[in-house]
Structure 1
């Protein structure tokens, strides 16, 4: 094939940290409250605005609590697991790397015994109908490393007795999260809105708050996980009084991303942008002679972390090492050409490509990328075939 001429304007297709919003420059950080305490009046005001703007964009109910917490989405999920789990049996849903990680934490670190593991392989999803409404349930809304998302929240009972703990880090701001179905929800800034790392968000329903204030876990609670004091909710956490010191530069960047989200139509506009990006990739895959989706079922296919596999029958003639080499050479070639950075599959996932299609990615850049994917595959196939 002839090497394409048109290149993506922004070749950032990493699944985290993700592309900055269109038009972003460091000027967006000019009003950052650097050199000031986050506990100062203006510092608290910035943090509270981040919480309030999050509530507005995500359409979070007024009686839900939103807090900025340490250690990105990982810290937020761990805070929820360590603080909320224990009094009920638990259903752990896992169909990719991060969901499996939460299973390991609950079973091996917290050492909880009454745990059911509802697992599925990459490209598939757990049996959602098997979830017991009397159990707490822990799941990822969108499997970042597998490109698989839950299709909706219909499987979560309205009259559930247990809590739902949802890792929504690559779903928030790109998918419709039904808040009435969610009790403890987490995400990080560096995903759909392209914010900077290290800060997590935790959103608690009134039912989750009730659990926090009526149940004390039997294990020692690290300071950065504590959301109560003396049996009462630490309300300050949900008003911008963070447990540890946040980066006010990152806060400013998040505020800028939230302001941009407003300009594209808020949550509905963000969802539409991400779904339109997925549609670009779906149209290409439908005609491709060599690429397919890891999530073959469209109903569970992610519109953010789109995972591709090589379906060319030629690849089936290769051993596992050879299949992995095809995917790696593809990603490396595209990176070297400067047309797509960081799109190799996650290290624990099957060999392939992972292209971020969240709301900060422009559809035109995806359109420009597609001929490069075809060119790179033809080059890699020719090289490996010749070597063989």
Structure 2
């Protein structure tokens, strides 16, 4: 018999030990039953001993994950001490829900996370998601949304903004929720404060990695309620019962009744990466399934006839240049479509790797001044080639440059715009 080590270690040749692939055997309490666990389980199902190791705060790659190991026990205690700390026990000031609700505007915003209250007013301008998303989540318990969306780094930042402990009124809260749920004939579907359920009506494959989704609202005369340029959050539950939240911009008309449309790129599993969490959820969605929505959010809004609202300031434009990359086209499509209808001088450069990656080709071809740019093209390709350079868009003194796509692409566009003479502080907006 070849006995494998219980605790993993790396040998001289850095080869992986078979203990990674072992089954664990656990005797169930108060019974004669033995439970055998694999390291993990198929697909997105929750389970496996590796998951338990992570939940206990252990590290799979440091050699201290063997069950019952003395070294592991000491290491676990050390790791527990380094767990993300989001509150200070010495801060005991009690803050009522009534007091919390008074602080819900730009410059004065309090949020509650895990029954602790934080004054994040000073952080509003630096928030990557914009001022709106914090202000609209203020004056109430934002635990679910905050914990799902934010990184460990963001969670660790909270402690310096802590001001007290939330004193809740559960009865009042439940009555308010019941009152909202009872009102099913609202004209606008979305709410800033509550998650509302939409039902998948149609799901169509657009290309090799994107889908066109149509969701039904609560009734046939209801509007989604997302102004042009803004977005909303969609929440799904994975097979492992984890809440997953992502932001999306609809491509449907703002006055469309009873339903709305999304085009979403899916990041499926490959030999180079695992599937994206939301992509896995959407892949499994079938007609009749529901998702939860909340919104709208965003600092930018196109109000029509060349008028835009950006971070609270209103501007009038006559020219608009838009550069989109990949699925970023969905974030600015409504803006471009409406600006073209309003007679604004528009130009769109849409960048992709290959021609098959182009989304919404039919819709875009019906509009004017659309240029497709490919980094991998056929010899007979007649559109733009390669990466964006300053020669692809000229400096417009009275115009605006919008950019939506991968972060690296937007950073490069910003630098190119500076070289091309754009006043990026006033004319450049990224989504």
Query: When the two structures are superposed, what TM-score results if normalisation uses the length of structure 2?
Result: 0.22
More strand per residue? 2
Select the structure that is richer in helix: 1
Structure with higher RCO (Cα < 8 A, 6+ apart): 1
